[in-house]
Structure 1
């Protein structure tokens, strides 16, 4: 595969360079497409790992010298680490290795009272979660059901083995990006008004501690960051030559391999992103349904999901260093086999890209954060999000047309917020 360098471009503009410019004279073989798909997966996850290592350096600097400046730098590093990772989510919903692994790094939403102190408005208990206000940072020993847990030292093993999804409660999220996000920002208590979480740097200052238990808060942040790196190393290995994820898709029949790729694109586009991550929040006008709810980074998470879907379909991934990895793609195959379906899907992707860009630009400008767009009395913000939802639903229909024209079959994940919105409350 070739690597070329791009000097200036935006992410969505880059991936939407007409695939005809790189199309093959004849339809590429499915095996070639699967190789490109696997190589891009490896590159995306490797970039995610590299950015997580940069995050670790920023966390270490914060711990060594807890100031507002080092806290801001750690937050900036966390946001940067989300960019490549969110592009990988098109590899979910069809690759068993990814589906089994993903919950360790990107599970949400989380009940933050499991981890640390919370505002009184959070409440003291939950019928669904006995560990709702466990606060492991404040407690060296505690009960989980009939088990006494020794948390004298907060380690990666404690987080992954005893706390994460404890008692089979999905909102007991103790690991991954969102646990680290909560540690760096704290709760966002602004509802659908302006403002993100505002944890002070002194929460990590063992000599001038706020919030109590600063030494254990440092342990938790360190353990969660180290564990994120370990988990990303695992998935990088799975997509490397000889890794299980790569072997799995290479061993599938041509039709099944192509269906796996399209299942990921369709399910992320429809049920997950358009439905559970976006439409549901607008229906409920609830900032708790915001994906990156502590940092107000949700607009970027959704935007880079779309960037990733474009990259997978077109077989073109812009790496963190600005180089572009590309090869035979689904776009090439569809263009050769069904030009009309390819043209339709390319147009629908471009339309969603434009709507995503409006959402991102509105948030990045400071005019209106994503959680403000969710507000019950904000028709302008609601429309921005619902326009994206409409674009995602339409592009899913385009994906389904490609599936049909290639003679394939897939099952796309659904969402009540799209399929039965009157049931959502």
Structure 2
């Protein structure tokens, strides 16, 4: 036979075999030898998850270092322009960090034993009365008497340092004494929001608090030190997840099912217990702007969207980096559809619905104003409608965990 004809027939045979063996809609029996394909997809999913975690934490660190540089410049020579630049840098730093919240709730390096370092990074609600002057206190160890707060109480806190601030924050002993992290910096930039929600304005701290006000230099030092601590704590997490990092090695050494159980525990709990519950339902139930996540800057609408995006990134297997490039690979849906196509399709529909609903919240802005017109028993309104879809997503993620790993995952926190 002609050599060219043989070559052609061989090529056709390869294409035929390839096409017939790559049927992504085929549901595999976990007890069948064909589960080798499933195990390959599981490992690809775990590896892609680690790549997304690494990239998003690096983005968060990079933007928080940018925030640190802007704050240092402001504190060195305060001006209203530099003050506004610091606020802008804080908002920009929150964008990538908000998309890291899905990596919590399974004792990883962000919130291992004792809740550290997350307790120093993103803990809330804040006890602003313990940090600086306020119109009314929030009930921490100190009273709302402005002489008792850290910035102005020079007798009890004569010297401010990173060690002193870490010790005062006392996260492990009393969660109400949160005085460090993104929200402490937020308060030091915006101040307490004393407006009514209908005004649709954030905190109005004047930049003169850092120039002519009492203890202006101490306030500036607190802001600078708190930001330095935040960068250090974020870097400690980045170092654990980077290539060659201790926790990354530990995580990748887990068997597929154990790693996937951790992943789905994190996003199921964030979806149903933390985001839908603590960060949204509680605020609606209390109709209190103090219960919103970023209550000083009125950036809670972005927190909600970005936290939901953190979950969606893992479901879809994609993360868009700050520089515009994309991490993409095997998704949760890719794995789930090999076992249960119906569950995979349902989760994809729910995940898409969640993002459409939280986008409405994000586009509307001023979460404190949005919650004033809602009650927890009315899911026809935007916030509680989003809550309902997030709860459904949490349950479906927990079920996906059972389907994939044959283990129990509780989506509540």
Q: Is the structural similarity TM-score above 0.5? A: yes
Per-residue Cα deviation, 1:362-416 (whole angstroms, up to 9, x for no partner): 11xxxxx11011215799999211011011011122213322322432433536x
1:238 to 237, 240, 254: 240
Does 1:112 find its partner at 2:109?
no
Mapped to 2, the partners of 1:166 and 1:315 lie a distance apart of 34
Where 1:109 maps in the other structure, the secondary structure is coil
Unaligned 5+ residue runs, structure 1? Answer: 1-19, 143-150, 364-368, 416-425
Considering only CA atoms, is the larger Rg found in Structure 1 or Structure 2?
A: 2
Answer whether contact 1:93 1:99 (CA < 8 A) is retained.
yes
Answering whether residue 300 of structure 2 is matched by residue 298 of structure 1, we say: yes
Distance 2:105 2:255 in 1: 18
Partner of 1:16: none
Greater RCO (Cα-Cα under 8 Å, separation 6 or more): 1
Structure 1 stretches of at least 4 aligned residues deviating more than 4 Å after TM superposition: 130-133, 376-382
TM-score, normalised relative to structure 1: 0.82
Q: CA deviation at 1:167?
A: 8.3
> Do the aligned residues in 1 keep the contact of 2:336 with 2:404 (CA within 8 Å)?
yes
Deviation at 1:229, TM superposition (A): 0.7
Q: Which residue pairs with 1:78 in the alignment?
A: 90
Mark the CA change 1:74 to 1:378 in structure 2 (over 3 Å): closer, same or farther: farther
TM-score calculated relative to the size of structure 2: 0.84
Q: Which residue of 2 aligns with 1:139?
A: 153
User: Structure 2 residue aligned with 1:370, among 364, 367, 371?
Assistant: 367
C-alpha separation in 2, matches of 1:202 and 1:85: 29
Q: 1-side partners of 2:88 and 2:171: how far apart? A: 30
Q: How many aligned positions are there?
A: 371
Are 1:198 and 2:198 matched, yes or no? no
Tell me the secondary structure at the aligned position of residue 96 of structure 1: coil
Partners of 2:374 and 2:254 lie apart in 1 by 50
Q: Is the Cα contact below 8 Å between 1:38 and 1:246 reproduced in 2?
A: yes
Q: Deviations over 1:302-333 (max 9, x none)?
A: 10011111111222110000000122232211
Q: Structure 2: state its 5+ residue gaps.
A: 1-23, 25-35
Question: Per the alignment, in what secondary structure is the counterpart of residue 247 of structure 2?
Answer: helix
- Do the aligned partners of 2:98 and 2:306 also contact (CA within 8 Å) in 1? yes
2: CA distance between counterparts of 1:71 and 1:382?
40
Correspondence for 2:11: none
Partners of 1:80 and 1:141 lie apart in 2 by 36
Deviations 1:95-130 (A, max 9, x none): 4322132111001001111111111xx14x84x634
Residues 131 and 254 (structure 1 numbering): CA distance in 2 closer, same or farther, change over 3 Å?
farther
Contact 2:48 2:328 in 1 (8 A): yes
Report the 3-state secondary structure (helix = DSSP H, G, I; strand = E; otherwise coil) of the residue aligned with 2:296: coil
Match of 1:411 among 392, 409, 412: 409
**Corresponding position of 1:418:** none
Q: Would you say the 8 A contact 1:90–1:265 is kept in 2?
A: yes
Query: In the TM superposition, what is the alpha-carbon distance from 1:166 to its structure 2 partner?
Result: 6.1
